[in-house]
Amino acid sequence: MMFSSNDSLNAFHPSRIYVEILLNLGLDKAIPNVHTQIDMLTIDNQPVPITLNHEEYDNSYVCSPYTAYISYAQDELPLIQSKTQRRLFWGAIRLADKLLKWAKINQTLSINNWLVSTNLPPNWSNQSLQKLTADLIQRYPHHSFNIRSLNPYNHPQLIKNLKAQGWLMIPARQVYLFDNKDRQWWQRSHTKRDQKLLQKTHLQHLKPEEHQQADFTEIEHCFTQLFIEKHSSFNPQFTAAYLYQMHLKGLMRFHSFRDPKSQRIIASIGLFTQQEIITTPMVGYDTHLPKNLGLYRLLMAVLLKETYDSEKMMNLSSGAGNFKSARGGLPTIEYTAFYINHLSCKRKLIMLCFAKLLNKFAPKVFAENQI
């Protein structure tokens, strides 16, 4: 059932198209490791996807705060260079594991959740946020509410308004921004070398309009090798059917590289523009091929050229910090906002302590380890 929405309103809005893709395919055929209820609500007369969860601890981090802060964090512990920091975070994760379950952290409604790594929200008005919060408390009195992917560079006023209304800001990760107001990153030596590699590669570059449905089986395989097998099984596991529908409906623009000998797609990237900011929820390549092919560099070269040509900002998400910084990426801490004021004292106390702890230590660890 749609909440506070009008079927005649914004019939072709990207949010509606996206939710229809998921409902038509079914989550098990679209993103099989995501377990949630998806719906829409309307904020400032614009439809927004939402997800509703109750517990579901064995879930992708895109709709499970427990997975984001516990399960995924455990997978990323080896990235922390300091042994002392690793031990401290390992102990903190073990303690937080039980406490966050007691706080029912996964009993939550996620606002503007596109089930991708980066969900950039509009700058909703203060009045709309007040009404939204009051309406959600009435409808879901035992759920927390959360908004992911907030950063002080893109959302200073939204963060200020949320804090003023009692929302908690909990650090989630460090992301890297490329802003076209200052194009010095385009003149970086690493960026120039990547562009030269793009010009001389023997691989066939497939532009968005050149993709066929059959290509998406290989694109899925590339994504799975990099993001699921190499990094974490808690990343959303996009299927070929889902990726093809995102391409077909124009929500995601794919650039791929085909090996002219085998005719296989061996690298691919999907660009998803939100609020006039380019994001990259889908990156993948054949991890078994020689590193001297420079597949990741080729994908980033395409992305940076698309960003430069479009004159839009780009949010390059987290990870590979050294690589992104060398190309001029501006690091900034990303937060998830939680509203918990209507919940029980026990749940509020645990979440308040958790937020205080992460705000004290996490930004420094993210910055030092570029994660």
Lowest mean pLDDT among 66-80, 141-155, 193-207, 256-270: 66-80
pLDDT of 145 over the 50 cut: yes
Instruction: Give pLDDT, residue 2.
Output: 39
3-class SS shares of the chain: helix, strand, coil, % to 5: 45, 20, 35
d(CA 80, CA 57): 24
Instruction: Give pLDDT, residue 3.
Output: 40
Instruction: Give pLDDT, residue 79.
Output: 85
Average pLDDT score over residue span 64-69 = 97
- Eight-class DSSP state of 316: -
Instruction: Give pLDDT, residue 81.
Output: 86
Average pLDDT score over residue span 170-192 = 95
Average pLDDT score over residue span 251-268 = 98
Average pLDDT score over residue span 328-335 = 97
Cβ count within 10 A of residue 367: 13
pLDDT tens figures, 187-240: 999 999 999 999 999 999 999 999 999 999 999 999 999 999 999 999 999 999
Instruction: Give pLDDT, residue 5.
Output: 43
Continuous segment of H or E residues that includes residue 14: helix 14-25
Distance separating the N- and C-terminal Cα atoms of the chain: 38
pLDDT tens figures, 274-296: 999 999 999 999 999 999 999 99
pLDDT above 70 coverage of the chain, percent? 97
Average pLDDT score over residue span 318-334 = 95
Instruction: Give pLDDT, residue 1.
Output: 35
Instruction: Give pLDDT, residue 67.
Output: 97
> Please, what's the b/e burial string for 261-297 (b: 16 or more CB within 10 A of its CB; e: otherwise)?
eeeebbbbbbbbbbeebbbbbbbbbbeeeeeebbbbb
Q: What angle do CA 145, 139, 160 make, to 5 degrees?
A: 35
Instruction: Give pLDDT, residue 8.
Output: 47
pLDDT of 115 over the 90 cut: yes
Which of the two residues, 155 and 94, has the higher pLDDT score?
155
Average pLDDT score over residue span 98-113 = 97
Q: Give the burial class of 28: count Cβ atoms within 10 A of its Cβ; 0-12 exposed, 13-18 middle, 19 or more buried.
A: exposed
Helix (H, G, I), strand (E, B) or coil at 62: coil
Band (10; pLDDT cuts 50, 70, 90): low
Band (182; pLDDT cuts 50, 70, 90): confident
Average pLDDT score over residue span 252-271 = 98
Average pLDDT score over residue span 317-323 = 93
